[in-house]
Amino acid sequence: MPFLALANIKKSFGQTQVVHDFNMAIEKGEFISFLGPSGCGKTTILRMIAGFEQPSGGTIHINGKDQTRLKPNQRNIGMVFQAYALFPNMTVFDNVAFGLKVAGQPKAEIETRVKEMLKLIHLEHLADRYPYQMSGGQQQRVALARALAPKPQVLLLDEPLSALDAKIRVSLREEIRQIQRQLGITTVFVTHDQEEALSISDRIVVMNAGRADQIGTPSDIYNRPTTRFVASFVGTLNIIEATIVDPAAGTVMIGDQTIALRESIADKTGGETISLALRPEAGSLSESAKGDTALTGKVVSANFLGSVVRTRIAVGKNTVSFDMFNSPDLVMPAPDEVVTLRFSAGDLLVIRD
Amino acid sequence: MSTASPFIDRRTIIDWLGIAPFMIFALMFLIVPTLYLVTGAFFNAEGQFTFQNIADLFTPTILSAYWISIKVSLASSLGGALIGFALAWAIVLGGLPSWIRNGLLTFSGVASNFAGVPLAFAFIATLGRTGLVTVFLRDWFGFNLYSTGFNLLSFFGLTITYMFFQIPLMVLILTPALDGLKKEWREASEILGASTWQYWRMIGLPILWPSLLGTSLLLFANAFGAIATAYALTGASLNIVPILLYAQIRGDVLHNPNLGYALALGMIVITGLSNVLYIWLRMRAERWQK
Amino acid sequence: MKMSKFFAWLAIAVGVTYFFVPLLGTFEFSLRMRRGEYSLDAYGSVFSDVQFQQTFGFSMLMALFTIAFGMLLVVPTAYWVRLRLPQMRPFVEFVTLMPLVIPAIVIVFGYLRLYNSSSYIPFTGSTFGTNILLVMSYITLSLPYMYRSVDTAMRTIDVRTLTEAAEILGAKWPTILFKCIFPNVMSGVLSGAFITFAIVIGEFTMAALLNRPAFGPYLQLVGANKAYEPSALAIIAFAITWLSMGLIQLVSRFGKLTQSRP
């Protein structure tokens, strides 16, 4: 039996339905990310798990117990909010102690547990500070400690990193993942940042318009997107429009160039337009690159992004981006130069919506 | 560089000249008149230094005037704070339609400025011996309000009248403060297991405390110095400090002009003390703020 | 959730009852002048009273002077403090808030002793001088409100940048003050003006103790001597206050529209 089970969850606000028949089974100790653009329903699902919103239909079970009608303060769930939401009138110590205090635990136990939690987030020395005296990253770590102190069954993270600076975002997400592993706590993480989701999750749920488009491991989601939405939202996948030449042979035409696919398109008919996905790091300009497929096009732009150079070339009506690793002797392609992009036919995925 | 310093000096002088009109005004019409009374309280009619005026304040009439004034101000400010808080809470967090919020705020803007003599008339017309409510209770329920010992020209009557401008003032100041309570604080406390009561006791009220307290003390000073409503309501029959001082100014009823100064000094001390108390409490309450 | 909504409605119901019953009572009372039927006689009697016209006119005039001179004092001061003397801000703000702490009756008591006919500055020695003193006392009373509304308006337009821009274009300070600053803080000036008006028009303490024939003392006199007219006057006064506040709302809405330009 899954530890956290969402069954046929529906949610409507007035006339608009924001979550449609959502099903999900989360195992104990799993780190699950809900990934999607704003308004896709991911935060609403999180808030229903927390109990801040009542589902219009369906059930929520944690550890076999029905939680659907319980109030938030009866669920024993930990939650970290986007805007920290530390209590401004309390010190770090009192913030972390809050959940234990309202649960009526003895003073000595509270003190031990709070110290343990502060140690976990490496902020023992700031116990007497008030929230306003700390940086955003520190505040969010305190918020994490506060959520974990009462030993919740489930930890919910509502875009906890999006208010922070880029550098702190990366280090804090690693810290969160490490603490989560250490405690083995079942965690649901909501984010609109695909890099974040890919880097720390066991599984990712890509949400689109109130539905789960795809549920899978980060590698699955990134390498084998099943819908056009997943392909375009996760990573910077190229979507290339192609016309089928011969379904049996698997040949398609892109602009005026014909190439063969490895994936079978025998179920399609000739002349039909299909979408193909190509990851930007799959291609190369090098003559010696191994690759059985090539596309020729005119360079639209080449941008230096630090570790990679991203080049966009026009092939027929499509613009295809690809990344080359930076090296000091790399020659950047010039605009309007005609180049040949080589890649393996296996890297071209057929998008079946 | 050597030419810079006289230039700066001239500029500094101009800078200070810029607020000279304000300074002169404040001195002439606010600071010096007040100081004049304060110092006058320590001199006798012959111009000699004395504490006699202060000592004379501790006579039964004057003491009771101060006592009633303090009671009315305390009761009306606490009552105003309590009801004002309930109303502000209702429009911010009560989940009421927004037209109620807008309506109440607009009305509060008006009612908080509706004080003085007309306010007294309104309450006489309502709760006076032939007022609407008094007559209504008598004719429909056979209930004689005035037989219960109620009297509009009393401590209770004055308090209930003052609350007409105290409550709206509280609503106006507290509504933005309540708007400042973040929804996430409530949610965070809930998910950590706190009840509504625990949220208010441990988070909501401590955060609102400075504004609540500050407004209450402002209401206190507001009521303590008010005279027009009381005078129009009760004539000179209710013995509160502003009315006593009014009578003293008009006709030297205390037969000692310098005792009048002491009376005024007493008022300044009480409103001043309430403000010092406010600043001190606020500093304590705001340790957690920037 | 249901519970809190119930209490919210309950609070509103209590509030509405407390606030509307006196207004209703006053209105009902003001209509009772003619025996046995409702009439507007009390209002007719008020409006035809020569003293009403005179005192109301006098208070209107005093209010206008208070607003004009008050703003002439407050706007340049607030501007100067923001621009040149930011270190004086706490002090100036403290002074402007003092009238909320020191009761009006104490202030006017000081005036009477300090500026009597035998003093160096005998304001109260002549009618004209007493009128000046009355206007000054009203400016003092409304100082907290005027200063706050003007200062808030200045904060939103960033006077420093505006002044520097005008200076670069070669404007002299009177031009800056009257052509750039005044128009831009107009919404603040007007809100301050209307609230001042609401305070001054029925003010009692200052006018009574300075012995001026103003509307406030007249109200008190009517209250002591007549039965139905006071209620009519209270309704009129409430309407005037409502009008002032309505104008403030109108002005601040208008101010928001114009302020989107800079």
> For B181-208, what is each residue's pLDDT tens digit?
888 999 999 999 999 999 999 999 988 8
* Reported pTM: 0.81
Q: Which helix (H) or strand (E) holds A207?
A: strand A203-208
Selection from C223, C243, C47, C101 nearest residue B229 by Cα: C223
pLDDT at B5: 52
> Taking CB atoms and an 8 Å cut-off, how many pairs form between chains A and B?
82
* CATH superfamily, region B60-285: MetI-like (1.10.3720.10)
pLDDT at B267: 92
Q: Judge: B289–A131 Cβ closer than 8 Å, yes or no.
A: no
Whether B23 has a pLDDT exceeding 90, the answer reads yes
Domains of chain C: 31-258 (1.10.3720.10)
b/e map C184-221, b = 16+ CB within 10 Å: bbbbbbbbbbbbbbbbbbbbbbbbbbbebebbbbbbbe
DSSP C105-134: HHHHHHHHHHSSTTSSS-GGGSHHHHHHHH
Q: Any idea where the domains of chain B sit in the sequence?
A: 60-285
Q: Give, in words, the CATH class of A236-351.
A: mainly beta
Q: What percent of chain B has pLDDT over 70?
A: 94
CA distance B46 to chain C (A): 16
The pLDDT assigned to C3 comes to 78
Residues (pLDDT < 50) of chain A are none
Domains of chain A by residue range:
4-232, 236-351
Inter-chain contact B189–A87, Cβ cutoff 8 Å?
Answer: yes
Nearest CA of chain B to the CA of A23: how many Å?
23
Q: Nearest-CA residue of chain B relative to C210?
A: B250
Min CA distance, A143 vs chain B (Å)?
Answer: 9
| pLDDT for the residue B285 | 66
Question: Phi then psi for B139, rounded to 5 degrees?
Answer: -75, -35
State the DSSP code for C179: I
Exposed, middle or buried: residue A290 (CB in 10 Å: 0-12, 13-18, 19+)? exposed
At C246 the pLDDT is: 85
Distance CA A10, CA A22 (A): 7
pLDDT reading at B56 higher than 90: no
Please state the CATH superfamily assignment of the domain spanning residues A4-232 in this structure: P-loop containing nucleotide triphosphate hydrolases (3.40.50.300)
Task: Report the pLDDT value the prediction gives residue B2, as an integer from 0 to 100.
Answer: 45
Mean pLDDT across B24-33: 94
User: pLDDT by residue (tens digit) across C207-248?
Assistant: 999 999 999 999 998 988 888 888 999 999 889 888 888 888
In chain A, the N- to C-terminal Cα span, in Å, equals 31
User: How far is B108 from A90, CA to CA, in rounded Å?
Assistant: 33
- Mean pLDDT computed over B118-133: 87
Q: Which two tokens mark C127?
A: 């009618």
Task: Give me the residue from B182, B184, B206 closest to A89, CB to CB.
Answer: B206
Query: What's residue A352's pLDDT?
Result: 75
Which pLDDT belongs to residue B3? 47
A205 Cα distance to chain centroid: 8
pLDDT at B290 (0 to 100): 52
Please judge whether A85 and B193 are an interchain contact, meaning their C-beta atoms are less than 8 angstroms apart: no
**CB neighbours of B190 closer than 8 A, spacing ≥ 6?**
A51, A52, A71, A72, A73, B199
CB contact at 8 A, A207 and A221: no
Statement: residue C205 has pLDDT above 80: yes
Question: Half-sphere exposure of residue B133, counting CA atoms within 13 Å on the CB side?
Answer: 19
- Which residue's entry shows tokens 């965070």? B188
Total length of chain C: 262
* Cβ contacts of A52 on chain B, cutoff 8 Å: 187, 190-191
